[in-house]
């Protein structure tokens, strides 16, 4: 906590981060900016009695890291916010009720999508033999239960590329929700359970479909459990590095949307574009792309609590895109942006990355 207080205390209030923050863009109030949040963190972590702290300011941060990319002091703003959320929990004022319910769901059902664990592999296009491999295709809750086309297409593409992998019929949530919403105690237990399971199965590599799962394994797990002996990657990296991709060009004009935790956090920006180019896509880039890409408004547990803020953030992103056809490498971005597009009466549709690759493989 002291480290995070020091981080927040190093804010010089230069204001550079205001205009890039998606919540400040919607609200126009300092309280909903990175700078405002650092002031709240300082109050909360620096004072015993901090009754004047705005939990709304802290709980409405998407953790999109956009601010960190511009902060001249290199403050770990999102981490400071997450640390403050755990302090709110300790003081009995968090997490918000809806997040508590979602956390309960993860603990009881093992997923964050309200799905029936018995039906976790319903998306599988064929009988999958219980198979051993040191590579796990980690599907994630949203793709397994809601965006089933994302899961099915990822599976088929990897098979066609002859990537050796296994699946877990009883895969459990990565647990990012517990960590980000201040339940570090539960996150620790949950992460450990997952990690011990992976180790007992001899897993050495995880291929994630969702950048949030990838980020959680890559950053949150080591923070609580020490360095991992398992390498983590995103499926876009695997496909981009496949020796020969037998893809046929299917011409379409699309916009590729960089998910915050893949583009900005991991620097995986050109790989998906390269693959989409091989599929025949003509890319229309957004003005803000790659490390500067805007957040979709779904992350950080905000979508379930501050629905209007989350939706308006998605509308702002959709407004920046000229094409109707959009591709994302994040199932959660796909889900949220499609929801926002329908809600606003737009004709924009967001497909998951491997759906495009699968279509190209099928033609070939």
- Taking the C-alpha atoms of residue 44 and residue 35, their distance in angstroms, rounded to an integer, is 14
At residue 153's C-alpha, the angle toward residues 232 and 166, to 5°, is: 45
Shortest CB 53 distance to ligand SF4, Å: 16
CB of 73 or CB of 164, closer to ligand SF4: 73
Shortest distance (Å) from residue 36 CB to ligand SF4: 9
Is the CB of 68 or the CB of 237 nearer to ligand SF4?
68
Residue 198 or residue 306: which is nearer to ligand SF4 going by CB? 306
The two three-digit tokens of residue 299, written as one number: 């992350």
Closest distance of CB 328 from ligand SF4, Å? 18
Whole-angstrom distance, CA of residue 32 vs CA of residue 63: 12
Could you say which DSSP state residue 253 is in?
E
Backbone torsions φ then ψ of 244, nearest 5 degrees: -135, 120
Q: How far is the CB of 78 from ligand SF4 (least distance, A)?
A: 4
CB of 272 or CB of 297, closer to ligand SF4 = 297
Q: Which residues are at the interface with ligand SF4 (CB under 6 A)?
A: 11-17, 21-23, 34-35, 37-38, 61-67, 71, 73, 75, 77-78, 295
Q: At its nearest, how many Å lie between ligand SF4 and the CB of residue 237?
A: 24
**What's the alpha-carbon Rg for the chain, to the nearest Å?**
20
Nearer to ligand SF4, 22 or 110 (CB): 22
DSSP lists the bridge partners of residue 232 as 206
Please, which residue, 23 or 360, has the CB nearer to ligand SF4? 23
Long-range contacts formed by 267-271: CB under 8 A, 24+ apart: 267/291, 268/234, 268/236, 268/237, 268/329, 271/236, 271/237, 271/239, 271/240, 271/241
249 contacts 223 by C-beta, under 8 angstroms: no
Q: Tell me the sheet residues that pair with 231.
A: 205
By beta-carbon proximity to ligand SF4, the closer residue of 65 and 112 is: 65
Residue 298, classed as helix, strand or coil, is coil
């Amino acid at each position: 906590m002291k480290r995070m207080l020091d981080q927040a205390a190093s804010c010089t209030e230069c204001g550079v981060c205001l205009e890039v923050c998606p919540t400040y863009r919607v609200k126009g109030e300092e309280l909903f900016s990175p700078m405002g949040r650092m002031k709240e963190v300082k109050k909360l972590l620096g004072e015993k009695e901090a009754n004047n702290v705005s939990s709304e300011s802290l709980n409405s941060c998407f953790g999109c890291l956009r601010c960190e990319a511009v902060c001249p002091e290199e403050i770990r703003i999102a981490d400071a916010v997450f640390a403050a959320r755990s302090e709110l929990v300790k003081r009995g004022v968090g997490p918000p009720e809806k997040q508590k319910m979602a956390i309960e769901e993860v603990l009881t059902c093992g997923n964050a999508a309200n799905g029936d664990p018995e039906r976790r592999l319903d998306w599988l296009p064929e009988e999958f033999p219980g198979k051993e491999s040191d590579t796990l295709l980690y599907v994630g809750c949203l793709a397994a239960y809601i965006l089933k086309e994302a899961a099915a297409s990822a599976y088929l593409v990897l098979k066609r590329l002859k990537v050796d992998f296994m699946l877990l019929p009883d895969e459990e949530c990565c647990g990012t929700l517990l960590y980000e919403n201040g339940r570090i105690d539960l996150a620790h237990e949950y992460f450990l359970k997952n990690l011990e399971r992976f180790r007992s199965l001899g897993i050495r590599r995880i291929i994630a479909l969702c950048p949030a799962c990838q980020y959680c394994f890559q950053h949150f797990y080591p923070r609580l459990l020490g360095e991992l002996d398992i390498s983590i990657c995103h499926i876009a990296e695997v496909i981009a590095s496949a020796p020969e991709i037998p893809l046929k060009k299917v011409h379409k004009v699309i916009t590729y949307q960089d998910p915050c935790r893949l583009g900005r956090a991991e620097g995986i920006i050109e790989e998906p574009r390269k693959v989409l180019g091989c599929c025949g896509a003509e890319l229309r880039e957004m003005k803000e792309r790659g490390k500067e890409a805007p957040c979709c408004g779904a992350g950080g547990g905000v979508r379930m609590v501050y629905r209007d803020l989350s939706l308006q953030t998605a509308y702002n992103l959709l407004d920046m895109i000229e094409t109707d056809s959009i591709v994302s490498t994040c199932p959660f971005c796909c889900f949220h942006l499609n929801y926002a597009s329908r809600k606003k009466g737009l004709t924009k549709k967001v497909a998951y990355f491997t759906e495009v690759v699968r279509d190209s493989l099928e033609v070939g």
